[in-house]
Structure 1
Amino acid sequence: MEFGPLQMLVVVFDEPHFTGEVLNELRRLREHDIVRLVDMLVVRKDEHGELSTLETSDLTKEELHEFGVVVGSLVGFGAEGEEGIKKGAEAGAAILGGGVFDDEERWEVADSVPAGAAAAIALLEHRWALPLRDAIAKAGGKAVTDAWIHPADFVATGAALAAEHQLKKSPE
C-alpha cells in the first residue's frame, strides 16, 4: 500500500455551529481522491458536559494494519537502524490495529474539551501529492524539506519586517 504525505489537523470549535458544511467538504475531498481520512476523532460536549464522539476512517482493518506496519517500520529504523525495522513493524501493527487513537488518548481529548465546545483531530493523507512525488522522483529530484505556510505566518513575517525597518529607521 502506498501512502502520500500525512497531515495531523487539530481543530477547536469554541462555540460549534455544525450545519454539515465541514463534513460535506471533507466528503467532497475524499470522493475526488484529494485526501484520504486515515483517522478522525471528533469530541463534543454540550452545555451540561454530556459527551458525544465520532471516530471514522477511510481505511479498512487490513489497510490500517498495513499503515501501522509502515509507520512502525520507519520509527524502528529511525530508532535502531535496520535492526529496528522488524520490531517497529510488529509494534506499529499492534498499536494501530484498533485505530490511530487509543482509549487513553480519546479520554485525554474528551477531558480537554470544555462544556459547550468541540474538537476534531484528523490524520489526513494527501492523495493529490502522490503523482507529483512520483514525477519528481522520476526526474531525479528529492524533497529536501516542506512546510505548511498559513496566513498567520505572513502576518508574523510582516510584523518582523516592520520591526526590523523601524530599528533601522530610528536614530541611535
Structure 2
Amino acid sequence: MEFGPLQLLVVVFKDPHFTGGVLTELHRLREHDIVRLIDMLVVRKNEHGALTTLEMSDLSAEERHQFGMVVGSLVGFGAEGDKGVDKGAEAGAAIIGDGLFDDEERWAIADAVPVGAAAAIALLEHRWAMPLRTAIGEAGGTAVTDAWIHPADFVATGAALAAQHQQKSFGQGGDR
C-alpha cells in the first residue's frame, strides 16, 4: 500500500465556536481525495469540565494494519537497520491496529485541554502529492527537503533581515 506525504496538525481552540465549518471543509477535502484522514482526535472541555471527544479515521482496519506495518518497519530500520524491519513492522501493526491514540494518550490530551477550550490532533495524508512525487521519481529526481512555510516564517525572516541590515549599518557608521 502506498501512502502520500503525512502532516501532523495540532490545533488549539481557546474559545471554540464550532458551527460545523471545520468538519465540512475536512469532508470536502476528503471527498475530492485531496487528503485522507489517517486519524484525528478532537477533545473539548466545556466550562464545567465535562469532556466531549470525537475520533475519526478514513482507514479501514486492514489499512490501519498496513499503515502500522509501514511506519513500524521504517522505525525498525532506523533503530536496527535491515534486521529491525520485520520486528518493527510487527510492532507497528500491533500498536496502530486500533488507531493512533490509546486510552492513556486520550486522557493525557484531555488533561492538557483547559476548561472552555478544545484541541484537535490530526494525521493527514496529502493524496494530491502522490502523482507529483511519482513524476519526480520517474524523472530521476529526489526530494532533498520539504517543509511547510507559514506566514509567521516570513515575518521572522523579515525581522532577521532587518536586524542584519541594522547591524551592518551600525558597524559602518550609519545611523545609530
* TM, length-normalised to structure 1: 0.98
Partner of 2:63: 63
Residue 87 of structure 2 corresponds to 87
The ranges of structure 1 where at least 4 consecutive aligned residues each deviate by more than 6 angstroms after the TM superposition are none
State the number of aligned residues.
172
Alpha-carbon shift at residue 102 of structure 1 (Å): 1.2
Partner of 2:45: 45
Residue in 2 aligned with 1:36? 36
SS of 1:81 mapped into structure 2: helix
Partner Cα separation in structure 2 for residue 99 and residue 149 of structure 1: 29
The 5-angstrom pairing of residues 1-172 of structure 1 reads 1-170=1-170, 171=173
Deviations 1:139-158 (A, max 9, x none): 01111111111000000000
Q: Deviations over 1:112-166 (max 9, x none)?
A: 0011000000000000000000000100111111111100000000000011111
The 3-state SS of whatever aligns with 1:66 is helix
SS of alignment partner, residue 157 of structure 1: helix
Deviations 1:22-70 (A, max 9, x none): 0000000000000000000000000000001000100001100000000
Q: 5+ residue gaps in structure 1? A: none
Unaligned runs of at least 5 residues, structure 2 = none
Q: CA RMSD in A?
A: 0.8
CA positional deviation for 1:104: 1.1
- TM-score, length basis structure 2: 0.96
